[in-house]
Amino acid sequence: MKTKIEIRNLNVWFNKRQVIYDVNLKVPEQAITAVIGPSGCGKSTLLRAINRLHDLIPEAKVKGEVLLDGKDIYKEDPLVVRRKIGMVFQKPVPFPSMSIFENVAIGVKLNDLAKKERLEKIVERSLRMAALWEEVKDILESPATSLSVGQQQRLTIARTLALEPEVLLMDEPTSALDPVSMKKIEELIVNLKNDYTIVVVTHDMRQAARISDFTAFMYEGKIIEFNETSELFRNPKEEITEKYITGRIS
Amino acid sequence: MPRLLDIGLNELVSITKRMSDTAEEAISMAVNAYFEGKNVRDDVYEKSMKLKELKDEVRDLAFELIMKYQPVAIDLRTIESTLDASYGFSRFSRYALDIADLTNKLGNLTECDHTKIKHALSIVQWMVSKSIEAFETKNVELAKEVIKKDDEIDEIYNESLTNAAQMGKVEDIRCVIADILVIRYLERIGDHACQIASAVGYVVEGKYLPT
């Protein structure tokens, strides 16, 4: 499989505390890569390094390379990087004063990427891709906060998709959701891999096993093991991976 | 604190142990009765049915554990290989029943020369007992020895076929038929012992040992 993102010797510090150590990882294109590991192991920090979110934190220092299609994102305009590499967070954060339509359109508007007629098409397409169109097509002007939490999460996915990214990063995208909403988001993620490269950080190993093609196991800031998901969960090579996924360490 | 899954896995081990004990008893009972000309078909059948029940118990518990705990890695491999082994144990008793049936069908065979069968039996009983030991102790080296032994029993079976084909006039054709059939059943028991041994590799190393 073609590599979409290549992480080389990545190290991250917050002030003097190092949280990521020499991470090397090749993320395959148009596949779902899950990152699992215990709380505080550096999963979310790694994900945020992939779209330069640490740039916004003064005490954060990043060293190493993150190549998107062979080009180091740390040598590109961060705004362009974040358009190509979209991020979905744990809790859906719709803009409360905006309608459903505006919530999806806002990124495109701010980047001045489309005229009004095209904007409508982009919003519809994004909502369709996020499997939300049928539920909201008649209430597009209603406030986004009127939606359920599960719908709001699909709305934030639609907002990310509206910018036509190449990569989707998802940081525990279902941890705030009920089982039915979680199932919908999981189905959505699996459908989206036909068009996007997806990296999902999850504390839910069963979710990683259900939806991902590849899994990276992180422990104490390091990638311990990376393999096809079915192989990693059935026959892990490293003892520490085995202990973690079988619940013998937490 | 033990994991909840461990309670279920221990129960699986316990049922498997009962299965292996019952399977070994069924083989010994059938073969000894064959040598002594006794009819133990009903007793072996009872053991065979008991093994079938235990096999179903293993299957039900295995699926319950998968449903409840969604096990992975060594836990999942243990469950998968226990299913393999429980099938093997039930097949042991199936062939034991075939052996017990021979006295019924062919009459008293105590006058026949049992040398070859006894030789084959000693190998197969070793294979059965060691495959069980290897499975219970997750001993890959012992499992490999079991698999290696399979060639010996195959050779005895092939020899008995060749010898029968080359025989001229025989005193009692029943002895020749019984000889071939018992060795054939023992050879099949040996094959299932190999399958159980092979599963030991899967539990420990994630790959079935080649048979």
Question: Is the residue at A155 inside a domain?
Answer: yes
- Asked whether residue A237 is domain-assigned, the answer is yes
Give chain A's domain count: 1
Selected for mutation to probe chain B from A234, A237, A238, A240 (highest B CB count within 10 Å) is A234
pLDDT computed for residue A109 by the predictor: 87
- Residue A237 has phi, psi (to 5 degrees) of -85, -30
Q: Which domain holds residue A17?
A: 3-245
Kindly report the CATH number assigned to the domain that includes residue A69. Answer: 3.40.50.300
pLDDT of chain A, 250 residues: tens digit per residue: 899 999 999 999 999 999 999 999 999 999 999 999 999 999 999 999 999 999 989 999 999 999 999 999 999 999 999 999 999 999 998 999 999 999 999 988 887 766 778 899 999 999 999 999 999 999 999 999 999 999 999 999 999 999 999 999 999 999 988 998 899 999 999 999 999 999 999 999 999 999 999 999 999 999 999 999 999 999 999 999 999 999 988 7
Residues of A in contact with B70 (CB under 8 A): 206, 209
Does some domain include residue A250?
A: no
What is the set of domains in chain B, with CATH numbers? 4-205 (1.20.58.220)
Mark yes or no for CB contact A235/B77 under 8 Å.
yes
Cβ contact, residue pair A242, B73, below 8 Å: yes
| Cβ contact A209–B77 (<8 Å) | no
Does A178 map to a domain?
A: yes
